[in-house]
Amino acid sequence: MKGEFNFSLIRYTALVVLLVGSAGAALAGSLFLGWSVLAGGVLVLVNLWVSGRAVEQVATEVAAVSGDFSAEQQKELAVRKKRGFQFAFLLRFIFTGVALFVLIKWRLVNILGLISGLSTVFVTFMALSIAVVVRYLIQKNQGRRD
């Protein structure tokens, strides 16, 4: 894992954060609050997963054909892939907005629970960032900095 991006670690850590947050909200508040946290978290995690897959797919496809085409053809392919990625992003954005609208308008969720669930990825990134900094400081204090 050293020195490379580990998308799986982020996904699984975010899933654990979501499950702990949902269970905590259900136990401390109500099942409705727990459901609300879960709904927001699932929405944001599905978005993260789909976005990550799309980025990996575009990067893999563009890199795979880099030697087989001329510079002009590579540029054209990159532009097409970029447009497709942007269109998929727009569809995801619209779907997320409609889902949030339905959840809020029909009062299917507690708004504070929904916001907490939507914060799952942010909390995960913060926790992983703090873990990296702590690991770095421990290694530095022990004289084994990587």
pLDDT in tens, 50-88: 998 988 888 787 777 766 777 788 788 888 888 988 999
DSSP structure string for 18-51: HHHHHHHHHHHT-HHHHHHHHHHHHHHHHHHHHH
Whole-model pTM over 0.95: no
Q: Is 1 a member of any domain?
A: no
Domain-located, residue 146: no
In the chain, the amino acid numbered 28 is A
Position 2 in a domain: no
Which residue segment(s) compose the domain that 103 sits in? 7-141
In the prediction, which pLDDT does 55 show?
Answer: 85
Q: What is the pLDDT of residues 84-106, one digit of tens each?
A: 889 999 999 999 999 999 999 99
Q: Please tell me the predicted confidence (pLDDT) of residue 67.
A: 66
How far from 8 is each of 15, 27, 129, CA to CA, in Å? Answer: 11, 28, 15
Give how many domains the chain has, as a whole number: 1
Q: Is residue 108 part of a domain?
A: yes
Q: Residue 7: its pLDDT value, please? A: 80
